[in-house]
Chains A and B, each alone.
Chain A
Amino acid sequence: MYTQAMDTAPKEDDGRKAVRSAEQMQLEAQFDARIDEGGFIEAKDWMPEHYRKTLVRQISQHAHSEIVGMLPEGNWITRAPTLKRKAILLAKVQDEAGHGLYLYSAAETLGTSRDQMVDALHTGRAKYSSIFNYPTLTWADMGTIGWLVDGAAIMNQVPICRCSYAPYARAMIRICREESFHQRQGFEALLVMMQQGTEAQKAMVQDAVDRWWWPSIMMFGPPDDQSPNSAQSMRWGIKRFSNDDLRAKFIDAAIEQAKVLGVTLPDPELKWNEERQHHDHGAIDWSEFWRVVGGDGPCNRERLAARVGAWEDGAWVREAALVHAARRAAPQPIAA
Chain B
Amino acid sequence: MSNPNPANATHPDTSAEWPLWEVFVRSRSGLDHKHCGSLHAADPKMAVQMARDVYTRRQEGTSVWVVRSDQIVASDPADKSMYFDPMEDKVYRHPTFYKLPGSVDHM
Contacts and interface: CB of A to CB of B under 8 A. Distances in A.
B11 A43 contact: no
Given A114-B17, A115-B13, A109 B3 contact: yes
A101 interface: yes
A101 B36 CA distance: 12
A243 B8 CA distance: 34
A175 to B, nearest CB: 11
A318 interface: yes
B24 to A, nearest CB: 14
Contacts of A116: 7, 11
B73 interface: no
Contacts of A119: 13
A53 B20 CA distance: 22
Please tell me the size bucket of the interface on A: 20 to 34
Interface in B69-92: 74, 76-77
A161 interface: no
Interface string A155-179: 0000000000000001100100010
A278 to B, nearest CB: 35
Interface string B3-24: 1111110010110111010000
Contacts of B42: 318, 321-322, 324-325
Contact of B18 (A44, A45, A321): A321
A116 B58 CA distance: 31
Interface string A307-336: 000000000001101101100110000000
Contact of A44 (B4, B17, B38): B4
A75 interface: no
A105 interface: yes
Contact of B1 (A91, A109, A171, A174): A109
Contacts of A110: 3, 5
B11 A113 contact: yes
A98 interface: yes
A322 B16 contact: yes
A50 to B, nearest CB: 15
Contacts of B39: 101, 105
A229 interface: no
A284 to B, nearest CB: 36
A114 B57 contact: no
A95 interface: yes
Nearest to A52: B5
B100 to A, nearest CB: 36
The 10 closest A-B pairs by CB, nearest first: A111-B5, A321-B42, A325-B43, A325-B42, A111-B7, A44-B77, A115-B13, A105-B38, A111-B3, A113-B8
Interface of B: 1, 3-8, 11, 13-14, 16-18, 20, 36-40, 42-43, 46, 53-54, 57-58, 74, 76-77
26 contacts: A43-B1, A44-B1, A44-B3, A44-B4, A44-B74, A44-B76, A44-B77, A91-B57, A94-B53, A105-B37, A108-B3, A109-B1, A110-B5, A111-B3, A111-B4, A111-B6, A111-B7, A113-B8, A113-B11, A115-B13, A115-B16, A174-B36, A178-B57, A319-B16, A322-B16, A328-B43
